[in-house]
Amino acid sequence: MGMARAQETPAKGRRLGRGFWGCAAALAATGLLGSATAAMAAGVGQPVPWQMDLQRPVTEVATEIYNFHHLLNWIMLVIVLFVLGLLIAVVVKFNERANPTPSRTTHNTMLEVAWTIVPVLILVAIAIPSFRVLRTQLSDPKADLMVKVIGHAWYWSYEYPQEVGGFKFDANLLEGDDQVKSGQPKLLATDNEVVVPVNKIVKVQVTAADVMHSWAVPSFGFKIDAIPGRLNQFWFKAEREGTYHGQCSELCGQRHAYMPITIKVVSEQAFQAWTAEAKTKFARTDGGAKFAEAK
């Protein structure tokens, strides 16, 4: 394919060029239109019908993942269009009728060097932002608040440290009338919500009591495994107040689909008010949750 192209006449090259760029422009326009529509349809904290795009990111990590995802899509679009152009050129120009005596060219040094170097450069261009995302995720900043998350078959329980009241509660799926009354989405709402302050670094320590689960919130850009006997740690800083939903993302058994996650991001004052209330509501007598520093 490429070897034959190397020998094409300049006139043929120009004709091919016009067709290829016309086709590329049309497809790029379709892509732009697609991503614009998708952006409009993106959910905030929950999916929406006909959503095409990822949920709107509200943390630094989620934003970096989101941008990286879109960068990759554009790189893929360019590569796909280029390969499509080459395929069309081969079909049109080098079929038996148009090109009865095929070229016997076997090598083209420049072309071979190019098709080795260019993919390497593309991979390097992808690796740089990829490592940047990884560095943000693993940066492990100092926590303003720790929350322990425990996966159970089939609900989540949460523990808050002594500094904010040392309470613990379960979050079960809201079903039937309770869900309708709550105004929260079906299969994503819980009876008790995790409440965290906005613009504060929240560290979550995730584990499980029985089988493996996974605590995942798309708008926050994380999915972290909850494994019995093991403490996984991750952090997030939500930059926008609101209600954000997630789900267990490890196939954990019969009611895997019915253990959602609801996180409310509120102002510092609202968080103080909530902890004061939660201390009484979820009062305990065993001295409160113990937190370890997971490294």
Which tokens hold the place of 137?
């995720």
CA–CA separation, 241 and 267 (whole Å): 7
Which tokens hold the place of 105?
């060219």
- Sequence-separated (6 or more) residues with CB below 8 Å from residue 289: 148, 159, 160, 161, 162, 166, 168
Question: Which phi and psi angles does 217 have, rounded to 5°?
Answer: -130, 105
> Which residue number, 58 or 248, has a Cβ lying nearer to Cu ion?
248
CA distances from 156 to 60, 66, 192, 193, 236 (A): 25, 27, 10, 10, 18
> Which residue number, 226 or 265, has a Cβ lying nearer to Cu ion?
226
> Which residue number, 149 or 266, has a Cβ lying nearer to Cu ion?
149
> Which residue number, 24 or 187, has a Cβ lying nearer to Cu ion?
187
Shortest reach from residue 262's CB to Cu ion, in Å: 15
Which tokens hold the place of 229?
């006997």
For 142-161, letters b (16+ CB in 10 Å) and e give ebebbbbbbbbbbbbbbbbb
> Which residue number, 34 or 228, has a Cβ lying nearer to Cu ion?
228
Shortest reach from residue 255's CB to Cu ion, in Å: 8
CA–CA separation, 168 and 213 (whole Å): 19
> Which residue number, 213 or 237, has a Cβ lying nearer to Cu ion?
213
Q: Report the phi/psi class of residue 103: left, alpha or beta, with left for phi > 0 and alpha for psi in -120 to 50.
A: beta
Q: Which residues bind Cu ion (CB under 5 A)?
A: 213, 248, 252
Shortest reach from residue 151's CB to Cu ion, in Å: 5
Angle of CA points 281, 265, 184, to nearest 5°: 75
Shortest reach from residue 245's CB to Cu ion, in Å: 15
Shortest reach from residue 8's CB to Cu ion, in Å: 58
The SS3 of residue 237 is coil
The answer to whether residues 249 and 214 touch, using CB atoms and an 8 Å cutoff, is yes
> Which residue number, 248 or 278, has a Cβ lying nearer to Cu ion?
248
Shortest reach from residue 258's CB to Cu ion, in Å: 9
Shortest reach from residue 153's CB to Cu ion, in Å: 7
